[in-house]
């Protein structure tokens, strides 16, 4: 279903005060994003609207949203709730009206758990569910049965935290997972255990023994600390059932996220080996696994997607020759007297490594500095994705040359930079060797200005030579980014998606943004996102957006 012509901001009546946050598509109007900051804030939804993202703050609520039930066919709903109590901010009418049709549900909140349960119960056909936190406490058996039945349709289930967890709650959750025939992608939650410690007798000054967690749990030794209880509980009640059903072939997962599951799992590598073995034989990809376990596994290099908690010099790299993706941190927990960190970096030049994600902290010692130089200047033909996050203090500088780094990855397709520590000249030199780059993300780079993007008057900038660049995201501080830099971005002939976010706007960036209506080379851009903090009016942004004739989707915050 298509509209007769391009859709403008004026086509939507808006009551969101002075600022509007929309997410629109020209032609097919399939999604709309609203920011509600007042009780009466509401945008009348178009009839063909199928996707809605609502950001609820302060006293705003959705009680009147069900009034659009005759003109809207929601299948995708995302809601973020901040500082809300368990009051009825999501109306029963809304859940009953749109729940049966929803396919995607994302809820981000630290409160109103009862509202989440209501939504989950009234959405029987969900396929993608992502919830920040959830509690199964005080849920009736009847409601749990409904939730379990609805769970059977989930293909992706992401739960970041299971709060106030009891053994029975975890057992219910695991039973839903292991009985599902459609679940393919799973992120296991962080479990906050609710364990009742007996009162301590002041006369004895020692805590009495702690009883077992239950008939199905592992026996806990006398006066065991809480972290040991949690570890045993997690392994016995979460890992073991997953391993059993995955080996049996009844649980057909494709990806398992272990970032929150592997609590102190370094002390119990046998359990992890069993999980890794079950994943390997079923071609399941593990993600976010503690790096310390890599040297105790024979097949992990073929199944792992990323690692965390890298301790250089303590990992046997002989089992990592087939690794394709690596995520690690450099700068903390490295022994200055151990040269094995440098050897590790040199040996990491594996032919199958395709993605490298580095989180680099303040480097004041020679060993971390040399390690980073080796990691980022060793020529890696196979690498197509590189993410580098510098966490440098004011006295630290970028430890490598931009030209060296660019020439080390001739086939790089994706590059994400956070807090670039070099100057504008090094930034430009970085792109001289990245002619295959298609996606570039630049975030929180305080040292960059117009000179980083613009060349001399008589020369074309290296940035403009990125002729294959299709996606560009810039989140910059206001330190001189003006219309000149934006003009360079719009001059990229292959650019299709542009996202700009300003932090700490001043009149410089405002003038640069407002001058976009006079810039050429804008016909290729189809997806535009501009995020502002303050200082610019809605009419100024509207004038900018209206200049893009080929836009399919844009978002103005």
Quick check: is 60 in a domain? Answer: no
The model scores a pTM over 0.95: no
Q: Where are the alpha helices (DSSP H) in 217-318?
A: 226-234, 240-248, 269-281, 300-303
> Residues 529, 555: contact at Cβ < 8 Å?
yes
Count of the separate structural domains present in the chain = 1
**Which range marks the domain in which residue 25 is found?**
11-52
How confident is the model at residue 387, as a pLDDT? 81
170 or 483: which leads in pLDDT: 170
**Is 26 among the domain residues?**
yes
> C-alpha dihedral over 417, 366, 338, 362, to 10 degrees?
-40
pLDDT in tens, 45-58: 444 445 555 555 43
Residue 156, in any domain of the structure: no
Summary mean pLDDT of the chain: 63
Which tens digit of pLDDT belongs to each residue from 271-293?
666 776 777 666 676 665 554 44
User: 241 in a domain, yes or no?
Assistant: no
Dist CA 41 CA 38 (whole Å): 5
Output the CA–CA distances (angstroms, integers) from residue 260 to 10, 158, 191, in the order listed: 46, 11, 8
Name the residue among 533, 537, 535, 532 with its Cα closest to residue 555: 532
Q: What is the per-residue pLDDT across 164-208, written as a single tens digit (0 to 9) for each? A: 667 778 888 888 998 898 999 888 776 655 544 334 344 544 443
Q: Is residue 32 part of a domain?
A: yes
Cα torsion through 467, 469, 475, 478, rounded to 10: 10
């Amino acid at each position: 279903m298509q509209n007769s012509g391009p859709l403008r901001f004026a086509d939507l009546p808006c009551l969101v005060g002075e600022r509007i946050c929309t997410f629109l598509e020209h032609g097919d109007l399939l999604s709309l994003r609203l920011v509600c900051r007042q009780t009466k804030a509401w945008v009348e939804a178009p009839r063909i609207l199928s996707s809605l993202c609502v950001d609820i703050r302060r006293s705003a609520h959705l009680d009147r949203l069900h009034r659009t039930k005759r003109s809207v066919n929601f299948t995708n709903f995302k809601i973020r709730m901040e500082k809300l109590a368990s009051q009825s901010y999501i109306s029963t009418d809304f859940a009953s009206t749109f729940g049966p049709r929803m396919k995607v549900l994302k809820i981000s909140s630290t409160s109103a758990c009862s509202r989440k349960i209501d939504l989950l119960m009234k959405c029987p056909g969900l396929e993608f569910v992502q919830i920040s936190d959830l509690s199964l406490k005080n849920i009736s058996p009847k409601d749990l049965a409904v939730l379990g039945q609805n769970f059977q349709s989930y293909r992706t289930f992401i739960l970041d935290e299971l709060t106030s967890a009891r053994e029975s709650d975890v057992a219910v959750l695991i039973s839903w997972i292991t009985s599902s025939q459609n679940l393919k992608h799973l992120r296991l939650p962080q479990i906050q255990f609710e364990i009742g410690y007996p009162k301590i007798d002041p006369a004895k000054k020692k805590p009495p023994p702690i009883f077992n967690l239950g008939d199905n749990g592992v026996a806990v030794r006398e006066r065991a600390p809480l972290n040991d209880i949690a570890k045993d509980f997690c392994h016995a009640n979460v890992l073991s059932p997953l391993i059993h059903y995955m080996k049996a072939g009844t649980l057909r997962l494709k990806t398992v996220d272990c970032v929150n599951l592997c609590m102190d799992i370094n002390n119990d590598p046998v359990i992890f080996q069993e999980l890794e073995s079950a994943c390997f034989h079923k071609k399941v990809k593990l993600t976010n696994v503690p790096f310390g376990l890599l040297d105790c596994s024979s097949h992990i290099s073929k199944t792992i997607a990323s690692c965390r908690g890298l301790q250089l010099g303590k990992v046997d790299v002989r089992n990592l020759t087939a690794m394709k993706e690596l995520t690690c941190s450099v700068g903390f927990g490295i022994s200055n007297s151990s040269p094995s960190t440098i050897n590790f970096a040199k040996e990491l030049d594996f032919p199958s490594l395709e993605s490298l994600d580095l989180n680099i902290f303040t480097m004041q010692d020679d060993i971390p500095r040399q390690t980073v130089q080796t990691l980022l200047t060793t020529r890696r033909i196979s690498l197509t994705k590189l993410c580098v996050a510098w966490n440098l203090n004011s006295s630290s500088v970028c430890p490598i040359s931009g030209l060296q780094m660019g020439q080390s990855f001739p086939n790089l397709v994706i590059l994400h930079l956070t807090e670039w520590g070099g100057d504008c000249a090094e930034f430009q030199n970085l792109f001289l060797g990245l002619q295959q780059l298609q996606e570039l993300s630049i975030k929180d780079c305080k040292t960059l200005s117009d000179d980083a993007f613009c060349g001399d008057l008589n020369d074309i900038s290296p940035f403009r030579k990125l002729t294959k660049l299709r996606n560009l995201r810039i989140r910059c501080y206001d330190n001189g980014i003006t219309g000149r830099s934006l003009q360079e971005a719009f001059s990229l002939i292959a650019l299709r998606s542009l996202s700009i976010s300003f932090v700490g706007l001043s009149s410089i960036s405002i003038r640069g943004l407002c001058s976009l209506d006079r810039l050429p080379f804008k016909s290729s851009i189809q997806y535009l996102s501009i995020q502002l903090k303050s200082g610019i009016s809605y009419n100024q942004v509207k004038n900018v957006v209206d200049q893009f004739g080929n836009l399919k989707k844009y978002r103005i915050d």
